[in-house]
């Protein structure tokens, strides 16, 4: 057997040192991970758990005059909303659609010409949805998944045929039939609760004013305004 030289002992010693160092590093790392986990657990109760969510939805736009001031107001207040636009209006105002998308709003389909689905026009209705999807996608680069059927008329089979999901509403202040923005705002504020979907139209000055009044009041009450997909699928 070969006699061990002092140089060999040196080598073994170095190896042991290296091993000890690795173990120490590993232990330190575990300790840190443990503290990290503990801190996260401690931090959780501080996260807001009592935020009530609500969704503002705007149909029929974009409007050449009223939609942009609405977007300004929503931006100032940190509010995300959902816009169900018609294809024909989107095609005329691609800049407004782009702005909605850039500012984090959700854009949905409201048919091309605001057509109501009936027993006799299913194919035309479907074509209008496809055409509108194409207009929006061309501008935003994003697939359109949500549709608000005008007058609420819908055929469930279209969901699988088009891979689209219909979004109705839970609060309708009939904003199109009154020219008093405070009345519209009060109609919503009186009824609203957590996870409500509010139906409005960015096609009237009074609706835009009312929407911002609603935001100001409900934010004071602790509501957070989110896009409609967050209410339905989160």
- Cα distance between residue 125 and residue 113, in whole Å: 9
* Cβ proximity to Ni ion, 203 vs 225, nearer residue: 203
Of 60, 105, 201, 202, which is the active-site residue?
A: 201
What does the block give as tokens for 233?
């699928």
- 57, 88, 105, 110, 229 from 133: Cα distances, Å: 18, 11, 16, 10, 17
**Smallest gap from residue 113 Cβ to Ni ion (A):** 11
Q: 104, 97, 114, 233: which is closest to 176 by C-alpha?
A: 114
Buried b (16+ CB within 10 A) or exposed e, 189-204: beebeeebbbbbbbbb
Q: Is there a catalytic annotation at residue 59? A: yes
* Cβ proximity to Ni ion, 149 vs 181, nearer residue: 149
Binding mask 123-152 for Ni ion (x = CB under 5 A): ---------------------------x--
Q: Is there a catalytic annotation at residue 101? A: no
**Smallest gap from residue 137 Cβ to Ni ion (A):** 21
* Cβ proximity to Ni ion, 60 vs 128, nearer residue: 60
* Among positions 54, 56, 58, 59, the unique one binding Ni ion when judged by CB under 5 A: 59
Task: Give burial (CB, 10 Å; 0-12/13-18/19+) of 45.
Answer: exposed
| Range in contact with Ni ion (rule: CB under 5 A) among 57-65, 123-131, 208-216, 219-227 | 57-65
If one asks whether residue 202 binds Ni ion (CB under 5 A), the answer comes out as no
Residues 6+ apart with CB under 8 A from 13: none
**Smallest gap from residue 150 Cβ to Ni ion (A):** 5
Which residues would be at the binding site for Ni ion (CB under 5 A)? 59-60, 150
List active site positions. Answer: 59, 201
């Amino acid at each position: 057997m070969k006699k061990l030289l002092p140089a060999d002992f040196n080598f073994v010693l170095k190896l042991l040192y290296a091993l000890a160092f690795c173990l120490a590093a590993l232990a330190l790392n575990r300790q840190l991970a443990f503290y990290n986990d503990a801190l996260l657990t401690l931090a959780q109760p501080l996260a807001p758990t009592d935020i009530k969510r609500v969704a503002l939805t705007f149909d029929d736009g974009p409007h050449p005059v009223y939609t942009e001031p609405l977007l300004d107001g929503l931006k100032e207040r940190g509010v995300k909303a959902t816009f169900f636009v018609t294809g024909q209006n989107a095609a005329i105002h691609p800049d407004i659609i782009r702005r909605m998308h850039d500012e984090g709003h959700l854009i949905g389909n409201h048919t091309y010409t605001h057509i109501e689905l009936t027993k006799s026009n299913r194919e035309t209705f479907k074509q209008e949805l496809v055409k509108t999807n194409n207009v929006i996608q061309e501008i935003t680069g994003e697939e359109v998944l949500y549709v608000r059927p005008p007058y609420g008329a819908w055929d469930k089979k279209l969901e699988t045929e088009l891979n689209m999901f219909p979004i109705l509403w839970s609060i309708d202040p009939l904003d199109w039939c009154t020219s008093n923005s405070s009345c519209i705002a009060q109609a919503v504020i009186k009824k609203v609760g957590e996870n409500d979907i509010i139906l409005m139209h960015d096609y009237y000055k009074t609706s835009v004013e009312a929407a911002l009044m609603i935001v100001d009041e409900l934010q004071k009450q602790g509501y957070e305004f989110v896009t409609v997909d967050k209410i339905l699928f989160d």
